[in-house]
Chain A
Amino acid sequence: GAVVSQHPSRVICKSGTSVKIECRSLDFQATTMFWYRQFPKKSLMLMATSNEGSKATYEQGVEKDKFLINHASLTLSTLTVTSAHPEDSSFYICSARSPMTGKAEAFFGQGTRLTVV
């Protein structure tokens, strides 16, 4: 299947700093990518839809100034957690839908474990 690569897999940062997470579609172009957050033992919560060449669409309750999304190319979307605080510690996962088979199959990155200390 298609490959979505997410980097880094783990990051620890100090409170008040910013952290950037990258999501790449390795073997297909993705005009749309999705960013999720997952709390321990909970299902995925969609944060925002990343659109290549235009502004991201944020879900209700997600602070767009806190979670900056940039989708500058057809294979790369980035999520920047700005002025991180301990409550931002979580597991972040990105997803892209591969057009290759025409089935709109979604593929996910490996996830990023963010710990803010």
Chain B
Amino acid sequence: KQEVTQIPAALSVPEGENLVLNCSFTDSAIYNLQWFRQDPGKGLTSLLLIQSSQREQTSGRLNASLDKSSGRSTLYIAASQPGDSATYLCAALPQGGSEKLVFGKGTKLTVNP
């Protein structure tokens, strides 16, 4: 059974700092891995999706990497801003026909001005 873990659960950084959020998964048989952002009281916004065959994806100040062999993904945020404050969730889509995303519990990021 796939399990997804995110560390740390919470992170507070000063504005301008580069930071890394970690996501690990127990079963490397994944179809893709997706990073989301959730603001308080809101739905999830898709940030980046990495296909199983890919190593990384970039969008603006965000870069997500995937290492299936070690069961890890990282989300790198460059030059953080207060507007980046949110909860970040990673989710793995298993192979094998199941269409259920497996979520981590998220990392709550606070960027202080």
A62 → B minimal CB distance (Å): 13
B-binding residues in A (CB < 8 A):
1, 6, 32, 34, 42-44, 46, 49, 91, 93, 95, 97, 103-111, 113
Q: Which residues of A contact B104 (CB under 8 A)?
A: 43
Query: Is the pair A106, B43 in contact by a Cβ cutoff of 8 Å?
Result: no
**Which B residues are CB-close (under 8 A) to A93?**
43-44
B: interface residue count bin? 20 to 34
Q: How far is the CB of A54 from chain B (nearest CB, A)?
A: 14
Among B43, B89, B99, B105: residue with most chain A CB under 10 A: B43
Closest to A2 in B: B46
**Shortest Cβ gap from B102 to chain A (Å):** 9
Task: Return B80 CB to nearest CB of chain A, in Å.
Answer: 22
A-B contact count (CB 8 A): 54
The 3 A-B residue pairs whose C-beta atoms are closest, nearest first, are A108-B44, A111-B43, A110-B43
**Docked-complex contact B43 and A49, CB < 8 angstroms:** no
21 contacts between A and B (CB under 8 A): A1-B46, A6-B43, A34-B99, A42-B105, A44-B89, A44-B103, A46-B100, A49-B100, A103-B49, A103-B51, A104-B31, A104-B32, A104-B99, A105-B49, A106-B91, A106-B101, A107-B46, A108-B46, A109-B43, A110-B42, A111-B42
